[in-house]
Structure 1
Amino acid sequence: MNLFEVVKASINTQEAAQAYGIDVNHYGMALCPFHNDRRPSLYVSDDHYHCFACGEHGDVIDLTAKLFDIRLYDAARKLASDFHLAPDKPLPEAIRRKKKHNTKAQQLRENEQLCFSVLNQYRRLLLDWEKRYAPQAPEDVLDERFVEACHRLPWAEYQLDILLQGDSYERSEVVSELTADGYIRKLQTRPREERYHE
């Protein structure tokens, strides 16, 4: 393995970002250091980063090079030094096990982010339905979308609150419920179905 491969296999982007002073929240979002960011627009995962505002993106080596304004090779050397790696030796068993564990943790985080994103879209759809399909007179037949909005909006907001403010156990429970039987994927299609019917 060359220096670049060892660094990428051993250090995840989120670890490096936090080690170099970027405060990443549990959704993987942070204030972008590459522009005047007021709201977190930088997404940092285990293997890459991407800013939704300024478009900066790359892997752990790109991030380090950009942060310290150094060449990629120097960034890889800095990471190897800061994280005590020996590029000419095979990866230790502890790191291989950690990478396997990171993959599980990464999957959990990705599921959590998917659930949050889909629920947020669904909530916006329900808010729209609540206004758009509200009965205009007492004798009007209730539109099924208005009824769904009345029933499901409190539920969606409660789930979002847990994903935003709950502890790791509560969040994982919500994610388990939402991902069971592909429920979150079905919810994901609701806005598209609505556009199709319009």
Structure 2
Amino acid sequence: MNAADIIKDRVSIPQALSYYGVELSPKGRIPCPIHRGEHKNFAYTQDRFICFVCGAHGSVIDLVMQLFDLSYSQALVRLDEDFSLGLLRGRGTPEERRRAKAAAEKRALELQKLERDKLLYQQQTAAYLAEFRGLNRMTESCRPTWDGSGQPPELPQEWAFAFHRIPAVGLWLEMFENFDRWEALTGGGDTGPGIHAGRFSRGHRSL
């Protein structure tokens, strides 16, 4: 067996995913860590993986190549070093090893940021969805009534607030309907201050 075959035999896809900070699933289906998908379109077994969206597929070596944008030889060196296999010690130039290490560290930081961004998005969406439902209930409970005679009643303060607030919250939920769209439009930034001020930052229209 050559070094590549030994690496594929000793390092499984789940081991590599876990080592590089990707959360596993008992069912073997997760969001794609390569194109950073939101839905569970990435399937893996012990020795193979495939993404049904971006088309990435292959062995554990292919996984590391695509995760960290490495060449085939760089991926071999990276796996050999990370899993202390000792198969390629001394192989590859110092520059190749430095680049492989730097690329892996950069990707690890990107994956960490992605997880933080996903948590932020989930928290914001849950908060705004709860507020949207609460505002709708508020308008129903304090809806003013008027039979058309005399002076119309003064609008309850809560109803007036909800009347102006519901479109803002609803637009947020519509614009950022999924994580991929939220990340693309905001760069993973916090849109909270803009909406709480009654407007959107990053050039979105005011409300």
Greater share of helix: 1
TM-score by length of 2: 0.48
TM-score, normalised to structure 1, is 0.50
Q: Which has the higher contact order (CA 8 A, sep 6+)?
A: 1
For the pair shown, the structure with the greater C-alpha radius of gyration is 2
